[in-house]
Homo-oligomer: A and B are copies of this chain.
Amino acid sequence: MSTQSLLERRFRVLGKHSPLFYDKPLQLVRGEGVWLYDAEGKRYLDAYNNVPHVGHCHPRVVDALCRQAHALNTHTRYLDDTVVTYAERLLSTFDKSLSNVFFCCTGTEANELALRIARECTGGQGIISTAHAYHGNSAAVAQISTLFTPPEKRGPFIRTIPVLDPYRERRGRDDETLSTAYAQDVQKAVDDFARNGVKFAGLLICTAFSSEGLPTVPRGYLAKVVKIVHDAGGVFIADEVQAGFGRFGSHMWGHQVLGATPDIVTMGKPMGNGHPLAGVVARADLVEQFTSQNMYFNTFGGNAVSAAVGLAVLDVLQEERLLENARIVGEYVIAGLRKLQTKHALIGDVRGAGLFFAVEIVRDRTTQEPAPAETKRIVNGMRERGVLISRIGIHDNILKIRPPMPFSTGNADLLLKTLDDLMTSL
């Protein structure tokens, strides 16, 4: 079966717009750790996928999946020790104020539920998100997924704050000045709701600002933002789908890195290492208020198999010291990318933490003019050379490098050398 004929069969049943990666789509047949293999046996270094968080097909996680799937797979309308134990383990990684959890299946479902809780508990409708965000695919969540939903389709209850871009906007300001300036954007959105008679419900942001381009957030920013949100009667929802489960190495959650405690936290992708598992962690008083008025049940959410898988992911993170690995290898990659920056004029900025990196590709370092065409060529060129990465940002000019957590310095060497060779040949 050739890739071309598979592509044609796919178009017939999934339609022509179902998203595919790369100019030349990749047909995969096997995954192991940080490696993926295509139908011709060619090996790819995965420096992109965060879903296989502890590595593709991690034996410990797959064994937990299979063991539980052989024994029992029912929902939370029955009592089950596994799901309660998992809930306790997961909650132990949060601030004590975040003491309740809902399990669901996708990040979209998690953000849907978070928005319902925020709106029910505040009595407001107004939600603030950023101007280039992606949070999921349901009607309510699409309204704040401003990356794909134009303003005229967002309805009257959404306001956006501009994307943080300290690379272009710092202009010599220190963190205190810059964070105060950025936080004022949130105050402006709050004020705009008030002017238009829309009661404010809350702010929902990705704590990595991933789609926005992984900006280096100025110290103190999030605490200032949360104060504005709380003073206006809203709740702060941290979308941890990208930053969560130790991606940044220093902490388990992105909001802990940024130094503020949310009222509601949503999580997804890495949670089940590929198994459809997501969750909402929230203050118990919000959960009580919401569930006393609204029945929430998710058939597959927190079923016995999902809980066993989630537990195994937490076990592997801890036993293989993957947060520590993210810190060590992350610093190694950042140093390597900075070295490439001295050699390749196209690299305008290198930033990131743990195992999440952004490389700004620019036409000119002085004007900082984005270079989206070159960025696309690099992403496709890397794929041809056997390394998988992608791109993000409002100008589509930022290389997105976000490998599975067991990424080693050896893997980093291959990533850096391939990028160096490719950029030399451009």
B79, A3: Cβ atoms under 8 Å? yes
Contacts A65-B69, A140-B140 hold; do A88 and B13 have CB atoms under 8 A apart? Answer: yes
Contact A105 B292 (CB under 8 A): no
- Annotate A50-66 by CB proximity to B: 1 below 8 A, 0 otherwise: 01100011000010011
CB neighbours (8 Å) of A76 from chain B are 14, 18-20
Provided the pairs A276-B276, A300-B276 are in contact, do residues A109 and B138 lie with their beta carbons within 8 angstroms? yes
- A101–B11 Cα gap in the complex (Å)? 11
CB of A33 closer than 8 Å to a CB of B? no
**How far apart sit A200 and B83, CA to CA, in the bound complex (Å)?**
42
Assess whether A368 is interfacial by the CB under 8 Å rule.
no
A106 touching B298, Cβ below 8 Å: yes
Given contacts A100-B14, A109-B106, contact A36 B74 (CB under 8 A): yes
Q: Kindly state whether residue A350 has any CB partner on chain B within 8 Å.
A: no
A345 within 8 A of B: no
- Is A49 an interface residue when CB atoms closer than 8 A count as contact? yes
Which A residues between 5 and 55 are near B, CB-CB below 8 angstroms? 6-7, 9-10, 12-21, 25-31, 36, 49, 51-52
> Nearest chain-B residue to A20 (Cβ)?
B77
A residues 199-240 near B (Cβ < 8 Å) are none
* Interface stretch (choices A186-194, A250-258, A283-291, A334-342): A283-291
Contact with B along A93-105 (1 / 0, CB 8 A): 0000001111011
Which of B108, B137, B275, B295 lies in contact with A148, CB distance below 8 A? B295
Number of copies: 2
**Quick check: is A166 within 8 A (CB to CB) of the other chain?**
no
Q: Find out whether the CB atom of B73 lies under 8 angstroms from the CB atom of A31.
A: yes
Cα of A284 to Cα of B288 in the assembled complex, Å:
43
- In the complex, whether A274 has a CB less than 8 A from a CB of chain B is yes
Q: A140 to B305: give the CA distance in the assembly, Å.
A: 28
Residue A181, interface by CB 8 Å: no
Residues of chain B lying within 8 A (CB to CB) of residue A56: 72-74
Chain B residues whose CB sits within 8 angstroms of the CB of A30 once the complex forms: 71-72
Number of A interface residues in the complex (CB < 8 A): 92
B276:A79 contact, CB within 8 angstroms: no
A306 lies within 8 A of B13 (CB)? no
Question: In the bound complex, do residue A7 and residue B299 qualify as a contact, i.e. CB atoms below 8 Å apart?
Answer: no
- Bound-state CA distance A70–B66 (Å) is 10
- A295–B148 CA distance with the chains assembled, in angstroms: 7
> A303 near B: Cβ within 8 Å?
yes
A81 with B13: CB separation less than 8 A: no
Q: Are A305 and B274 in contact (CB under 8 A)?
A: yes
Give chain B nearest CB distance to A65 CB in angstroms: 6
Distance from A292 Cβ to chain B, minimum over Cβ atoms (Å): 6
Which residues does chain B contribute within 8 Å of A28, judged by CB atoms? 72, 74, 78-80
Complex: A301 Cα to B299 Cα, angstroms: 16
Smallest distance from the beta carbon of A230 to chain B beta carbons, Å? 23
Do B49 and A74 have beta carbons less than 8 Å apart? yes
A255-302 interface with B by 8 A CB criterion? 268-269, 273-276, 284, 287-288, 291-292, 294-301
Q: Which of A111-119, A172-180, A357-365 contacts B (4 or more CB under 8 A)?
A: A111-119
B138 touches A138 (CB 8 A): yes
Does A142 sit within 8 A of B, measured CB to CB?
yes
Residues of chain A whose beta carbon lies under 8 Å from any beta carbon of chain B = 1, 3, 6-7, 9-10, 12-21, 25-31, 36, 49, 51-52, 56-57, 62, 65-66, 69-81, 83-84, 87-88, 91, 99-102, 104-109, 112-113, 115-116, 137-140, 142, 148, 268-269, 273-276, 284, 287-288, 291-292, 294-301, 303, 305-306
